A and B are shown apart, each in its own frame.
Chain A
């Protein structure tokens, strides 16, 4: 790190004091179960927007995907298009309003609870809760790994200590302060991220001589694309890969569609729609949310691609060659360290810490409430009780920490894309049906959820080469790393599983609509 570690430690400590203070404020304001679960349904729209955005954008989105933009170029801007168009506009206007209204009427307090109450089915609540409890720890562990790696590299604290301390600090305010503490701290963290990314964009273009000059220089570097990437279809850093090539398929299906669509059905984001008192708050949050996301992923992807110009002009190498040990996750930090003033390095490092903490706190809360309220609480009162949910949150945090010690460090961006793909495949059609049907079909929902989750898993384990090779199931059962040839091996599981999930929903709905009998009691709503 180029900057004085003492300065960064001092600023980090001050930041942590404020975070703990906000956590304490959340704890003091948490008097009832609704406060703990859905922030009392009275969160301010600006806090909602910043919390939603800060949860949405993890360190992985900035450093991991910024590094991918350094490798593959500006084509990743299409993910920003989806991030804003789907992740904010459609999410808030189409889904958010209905979610808030129905969630408030049914007194739903978690995403699985919302599904269970919309369909009048314990199965839906339990199954959605299980998907979260099983799938989310992998994503959470990846965020933990990213945060711990970052703390280790910037503060020179041993990795294991970093990981445990990072988890413990976030756990403290999540467990005690619930969603109010999570959203208050998210809002501060979102503010820090906004400042950091705004300065990063401005300084990068100033450093490279202006917008047109920098972009023109990047477009002129197309003959420097490494042979291996050119063979995969890459044409330059300021142009899209060749249509249908393996790199185009990875860029479009996994990075743009997989992550872009996946955000629509993420439980930790959906629950935020139920934290405001009226639709007006959602309308106001849209105004803040759109520009916030533009300044996060739009800046990360643009600056990521432009690092090629900087490294070429100053060191005669492309960004990939400037990466430490070939790891694309190091490109953005290396660029910041090499090119930015010391004070900004501190601001940016703080922004990365804030991004990791804001995502992590929301995942801790969602996992804890899912386990404690949706999965374990199968008997007794319908009302949420804070103590078992706090205990469940601690359990889920412990599981995530253990997983973080087991999982490889290179899994961060992949685990993010996998979790988003799983959520969209399993939940999106069912969620949309619940929000927009006056009499949602339970049979259709069950078929969709199961078809989506199973198809996603099958494609992940047996076809999508990056995961199937690592998991080894395909090799164990069939003696090959993937059962289908190229180009299927680079087509993201979401692109297959989501249409199947939607088709299953449609079939189930048609069967219900045209009177095909369903098992007794399943329609009890």
Chain B
């Protein structure tokens, strides 16, 4: 796949892309969440 035969390298690339995608999805899904937390207790 993509000219890379070693699965451990391929998995590394797929995970790097997967985590990037996760960042995008997380950011979009939570775009407007968390705006009212300024005065919360911890």
Q: Which of A74, A81, A282 contacts B4 (CB 8 A)?
A: A74
A85 contacts B15, CB within 8 Å? yes
Q: Which of B19, B31, B36 contacts A81 (CB 8 A)?
A: B19
**At the interface, yes or no: A231 with Cβ under 8 Å from chain B?**
no
* Cα separation A93 to B41 with both chains bound (whole Å): 18
Give min CB distance, B40 to chain A, whole Å: 7
Q: Nearest residue in A to B41 (C-beta to C-beta)?
A: A105
**At the interface, yes or no: A213 with Cβ under 8 Å from chain B?**
yes
Give min CB distance, B21 to chain A, whole Å: 8
**At the interface, yes or no: A77 with Cβ under 8 Å from chain B?**
yes
Q: Nearest residue in B to A45 (C-beta to C-beta)?
A: B27
* Cα separation A284 to B26 with both chains bound (whole Å): 9
A288 partner residues in chain B, CB cutoff 8 A: 27
* Cα separation A291 to B34 with both chains bound (whole Å): 22
Q: List 24 A-B contacts (CB under 8 A).
A: A77-B12, A77-B13, A80-B12, A84-B20, A88-B19, A89-B26, A102-B42, A211-B3, A214-B3, A216-B3, A236-B6, A238-B4, A278-B38, A280-B30, A281-B34, A282-B34, A283-B34, A286-B26, A287-B24, A287-B27, A288-B27, A290-B27, A291-B23, A294-B20
B23 contacts A88, CB within 8 Å? yes
Give min CB distance, B23 to chain A, whole Å: 2
Q: Nearest residue in B to A291 (C-beta to C-beta)?
A: B20
* Cα separation A482 to B37 with both chains bound (whole Å): 52
| Also in contact, A286 and B5, with CB within 8 A (given A105-B42, A277-B38, A279-B34) | no
**At the interface, yes or no: A215 with Cβ under 8 Å from chain B?**
yes
The 10 closest A-B pairs by CB, nearest first: A287-B27, A290-B23, A279-B34, A215-B3, A216-B3, A239-B6, A283-B30, A77-B12, A84-B19, A280-B34
Interface residues contributed by chain B, number (CB under 8 Å): 32
**At the interface, yes or no: A104 with Cβ under 8 Å from chain B?**
yes
**At the interface, yes or no: A75 with Cβ under 8 Å from chain B?**
yes
| Also in contact, A74 and B3, with CB within 8 A (given A277-B38, A287-B23, A287-B28) | no
**At the interface, yes or no: A344 with Cβ under 8 Å from chain B?**
no
B32 partner residues in chain A, CB cutoff 8 A: 280
Q: Which of B20, B24, B33, B42 contacts A101 (CB 8 A)?
A: B42
A217 partner residues in chain B, CB cutoff 8 A: 3
**At the interface, yes or no: A368 with Cβ under 8 Å from chain B?**
no
A286 contacts B27, CB within 8 Å? yes
* Cα separation A458 to B22 with both chains bound (whole Å): 38
* Cα separation A288 to B2 with both chains bound (whole Å): 26
Q: 15 new A-B pairs (CB below 8 Å) besides A279-B34, A289-B23?
A: A75-B8, A77-B12, A81-B19, A213-B3, A218-B3, A279-B35, A280-B31, A280-B32, A281-B34, A282-B34, A283-B26, A283-B30, A284-B31, A287-B24, A291-B24
A215 partner residues in chain B, CB cutoff 8 A: 2-4
A238 contacts B20, CB within 8 Å? no
Chain B residues with CB under 8 Å of chain A are: 2-6, 8-9, 12-13, 15-17, 19-20, 22-24, 26-28, 30-38, 40-42
Per-position 1/0 for A247-262, Cβ under 8 A of B: 0000000000000000
| Also in contact, A89 and B22, with CB within 8 A (given A211-B2, A216-B3, A239-B5) | yes
Give min CB distance, B5 to chain A, whole Å: 6
A75 contacts B23, CB within 8 Å? no
**At the interface, yes or no: A14 with Cβ under 8 Å from chain B?**
no
A294 partner residues in chain B, CB cutoff 8 A: 16-17, 20
Q: Which of B3, B28, B33 contacts A212 (CB 8 A)?
A: B3
Q: Which of A101, A279, A284 contacts B27 (CB 8 A)?
A: A284
B24 contacts A290, CB within 8 Å? yes
Q: Nearest residue in A to B30 (C-beta to C-beta)?
A: A283
| Also in contact, A77 and B2, with CB within 8 A (given A89-B22, A240-B9, A283-B26) | no
* Cα separation A282 to B34 with both chains bound (whole Å): 9
A238 contacts B34, CB within 8 Å? no
A280 contacts B9, CB within 8 Å? no
